[in-house]
Amino acid sequence: MRTDAVAEPPAAPPETAIEHDLAWLLDAPDIVAFDDYEGRPSRAELGLAPTPPGWNERRAKAARTLAGKLPTRMGHYHEALWRILLDNAPATRLLAHNVAIREQRRTLGELDLLYRTLADPAPIHLEVAIKFYLGLPEGPGALESQDRWIGPGGLDSLARKCAHLAAHQLPLSATPLARDTLQRLLAPRDGAGDEGLDGLTRRLAMPGVLFYPFHASLPPPIQASTHHERGLWCYASDWETVLKERMPARVAWLKKPFWLAPPSDDAFLASSSLLPALTEALERFGPQQVMLRAEGEGGGEERVFIVPDDWPRQIPLPLPAARR
């Protein structure tokens, strides 16, 4: 049976999906919480609680612009969404993004986003990351270890990302080199002076999903935020079992980069209609990862991530104790 012989729902226009993702991003919980750094700017800080007149039109215009040059990598797409929010929200002003901090010819890193509120000129350094980690019932460390939560490609882990954020990405804006760079980059009204830079704060927005294994129980990892978004992961050979046990009424197959917000209603198919196409794709194309949105009879939704039966082919090594 050919995959293209199975009817698939029409894809929503990119600008519509982008608008849905912008709305999702405003309320999506971070998957981890750092004691030393605040999380994402809230709706109130952005001036979007309640929604002001004209916001929907501005958001739609920005979505159309982004749709014309849509990033294919999840990280770049997520950053672009944050640039739209900070640059168009009523209470914030985007100052710069991807600010390279260099020492002679060597780049030490980049500051993802710099913004300020209209009420306070002190700049805010916001690091952003969109992450999807799958928990390993058997793996390095204790059951709650961050080392057990790895990316779909098997190259990244929650432990490594958190360590890099805490030791390098977030503190980078406090270094003398960064301070010199910001003095040259920012205008006086945006906190370029010593007093403004002394008040610079650092924040982290790290939404995403932690996928828990279908075939075993696993507690949340250390530092997981209380309300992080959860999903389920399973092997390709278990998908029909998952379908029977969870009994979703409808399923939507999510395509990158639109892995964030729930898709439009017309993106969902009856489970029995999607299963042949999904089975064919997994069998025909070999190692493939698929993210689904499953909707039950009562309307509740669940994310399901399907991986090949030989996943993971590699697991990132645990971090040395000195780097934790």
pLDDT in tens, 163-210: 999 999 999 999 999 999 999 999 888 877 766 788 899 999 999 999
Q: Is 247 exposed, middle or buried (0-12, 13-18, 19+ CB in 10 A)?
A: exposed
Read off the amino acid at residue 300.
Answer: G
pLDDT band at 3 (very low <50, low <70, confident <90, very high): very low
Weakest-pLDDT range from 130-134, 252-256, 298-302: 298-302
Residue of 172 and 278 predicted with greater confidence: 172
Count of Cβ atoms closer than 10 Å to residue 90 Cβ: 14
Residues linked to residue 208 through DSSP beta bridges, in sequence order: 131
Q: What's the rounded mean pLDDT across residues 210-223?
A: 96
- Residue 6 confidence class, pLDDT cut points 50, 70, 90: very low
Distance CA 4, CA 8 (A): 8
What is the structure's pLDDT at 4? Answer: 41
Task: Tell me how far apart the alpha carbons of residues 192 and 183 are, in angstroms, rounded to a whole number.
Answer: 5
pLDDT value, residue 236? 86
Residue 89 is predicted with a pLDDT of 96
pLDDT in tens, 59-99: 999 999 999 999 989 999 999 999 999 999 999 999 999 99
What is the predicted pLDDT for the residue at 1? 34
For 141, the token pair is 């460390």
Judge whether residue 33 has pLDDT over 90.
yes
Domain boundaries in the chain? 3-323
Instruction: Work out the mean pLDDT of the chain and round it to a whole number.
Output: 89
Statement: residue 276 has pLDDT above 80: no
Higher pLDDT, 167 or 288: 167
Residue 19 has pLDDT above 50, yes or no: yes
Beta strands at 201-205 and 290-295: parallel, antiparallel or unpaired: unpaired
